[in-house]
A = this chain, B = another copy of it.
Amino acid sequence: MISSRALRVPASPIRRLVPFADKAKKKGIHVYHLNIGQPDIETPSEWYKYIEKFKNKVVAYTHSQGILPLREKFAEYYRKWNIEVMPDEIIVTNGGSEAIMFALGVVCDPEDEVIVIEPFYANYAGFAAYLNVKLVPVTATPENGYRMPKKSDFEKVITPKTKAILFSNPSNPTGVVYTREEIQTIVEIAKENDLVIISDEVYREFAFDNKNSISAFEFNEIHDRLIIVDSVSKRYSACGARIGTFITKNKNFYSAALKLAQARLSPAEITQYGTIGLLNSSEEYMKKVMKEYEKRRDVAYEEIKKIPGVIAHKPEGAFYLSAKLPVDNAENFIKWMLSKFNVDGKTTMVAPLSGFYATPNFGLKEIRIAYVLDSEKIKDAIKIMAKGIEEYNKQKN
């Protein structure tokens, strides 16, 4: 009685090892959670301020595309990033998640194909299976610092069923921030093959070393084939707000997505008001947060490159670091860390990267670290992992 599509939806690689962590905790072991992108940074206080101001007597549906004051505020925010969109080119969504669902639904019929750069944000696979869309991977390798694959690599996998290219920039899970030239590759492929670009830019602010991340929107010639997916979750440390956006200047995409939005009526009311608060928070908040993440990035990278045999490049953005470990199998190693290993009652949990690949058996030795804890904790967590690798490999031999 169960559908094939549901069976194909993969269990989240980020969450499926949680039972092992729970068991460790029951034994009294402290687990450093570097497995999930849930930051420990405080949400701007404006969130609660705006929520408290809001006291409508009837908690009502809003417009399906989201309340106008919020869409206006978003448009103002995007303008600062040279993304010139009007409020009626924005649909407020239940997190970036729903925006991805809308994008895939608007562009793809069942069995259609979407090219992704693997490793990619693991939940893309879940949404694609849900909607019977086929993800076709082009691989970025740890040896190459997970940089953008070559144009010819994309061209090789294009078929008559290919409808779009979906990628995140700055990249979750690799921390790569693509250069203008790298995005140009995607732009050219899309134009030459009549494809849609779905650009997931939820980590827009997270670009370090005084670099700026470049939005796909900066390429004017693709505005008619571009959908931007965005979310306030990461930049305001407000994952639980579940507010994202679906952005497009293509009126057909917009009205199709709006019909999907109308079917589910509206996003929550109060969280939209709270998000106006987030967008009104100070630029100092953001600067401070970015400085903090940059420091953590430095610490995480310093520590991980000390481990013999690890292949890692310095992440330029997001708050992730992907690396290849000198172990036989990263998932087994993570389970072992949680069930058999600790240093002074502490152990470390990271995410296995194989779940971020569409190609079977790729990324088996790779992991993702989310540097969402403070520097001292990150340092300790990675040192523990380093000892774990040594011990794990001793046991294996």
In this assembly, does A94 line the interface, its C-beta being within 8 Å of a C-beta of chain B?
yes
In this assembly, does A69 line the interface, its C-beta being within 8 Å of a C-beta of chain B?
no
Complex Cα distance A57/B240, Å? 11
- State the Cβ distance, A11 to closest chain B Cβ, in Å: 6
The A235-281 residues at the B interface (CB cut-off 8 A) are 237-242, 250, 252-253, 256-257, 259-260, 262-271, 274
Question: Which partner residue on chain B sits nearest A10 by CB separation?
Answer: B259
Complex Cα distance A252/B10, Å? 14
List residues of chain B with CB within 8 A of the CB of A48: 55
B131 near A263 with CB under 8 A, answer: no
In this assembly, does A109 line the interface, its C-beta being within 8 Å of a C-beta of chain B?
yes
Complex Cα distance A15/B258, Å? 11
The A12-44 residues at the B interface (CB cut-off 8 A) are 12, 15, 36, 38-43
Chain A, interface residues (CB within 8 Å), range: 35 or more
Integer count of this chain's copies in the complex: 2
**A242 touching B267 in the complex, CB below 8 Å, given contacts A7-B256, A132-B132:** yes
**Per-residue B-contact encoding for A215-246, CB less than 8 Å = 1, 0 else:** 00000000001000000000001111110000
A58 near B237 with CB under 8 A, answer: yes
B194 near A1 with CB under 8 A, answer: yes
List residues of chain B with CB within 8 A of the CB of A57: 42-43
Question: Which partner residue on chain B sits nearest A61 by CB separation?
Answer: B239
- State the Cβ distance, A396 to closest chain B Cβ, in Å: 31
The A136-172 residues at the B interface (CB cut-off 8 A) are 163
B259 near A6 with CB under 8 A, answer: yes
- State the Cβ distance, A275 to closest chain B Cβ, in Å: 10
In this assembly, does A304 line the interface, its C-beta being within 8 Å of a C-beta of chain B?
no
- State the Cβ distance, A104 to closest chain B Cβ, in Å: 9
**A107 touching B2 in the complex, CB below 8 Å, given contacts A55-B48, A239-B60:** yes
Question: Which partner residue on chain B sits nearest A41 by CB separation?
Answer: B58
In this assembly, does A110 line the interface, its C-beta being within 8 Å of a C-beta of chain B?
yes
Question: Which partner residue on chain B sits nearest A107 by CB separation?
Answer: B3
In this assembly, does A196 line the interface, its C-beta being within 8 Å of a C-beta of chain B?
yes
Stretch at the interface among A73-81, A122-130, A321-329: A122-130
- State the Cβ distance, A101 to closest chain B Cβ, in Å: 8
Complex Cα distance A62/B238, Å? 12
A109 near B9 with CB under 8 A, answer: no
Complex Cα distance A267/B267, Å? 11
Question: Which partner residue on chain B sits nearest A9 by CB separation?
Answer: B259
**Per-residue B-contact encoding for A81-114, CB less than 8 Å = 1, 0 else:** 0000000000000110110010001111110100
Can you report 19 A-B residue pairs in the complex whose CB atoms are below 8 A from each other? A1-B194, A2-B106, A2-B256, A6-B259, A9-B259, A11-B259, A15-B64, A48-B55, A51-B51, A51-B270, A59-B238, A59-B240, A62-B240, A94-B94, A123-B263, A241-B268, A242-B265, A242-B266, A268-B271
Known: A2-B252, A132-B132, A270-B270. 6 other contacts (CB 8 A): A15-B262, A38-B58, A41-B58, A58-B240, A59-B240, A268-B268
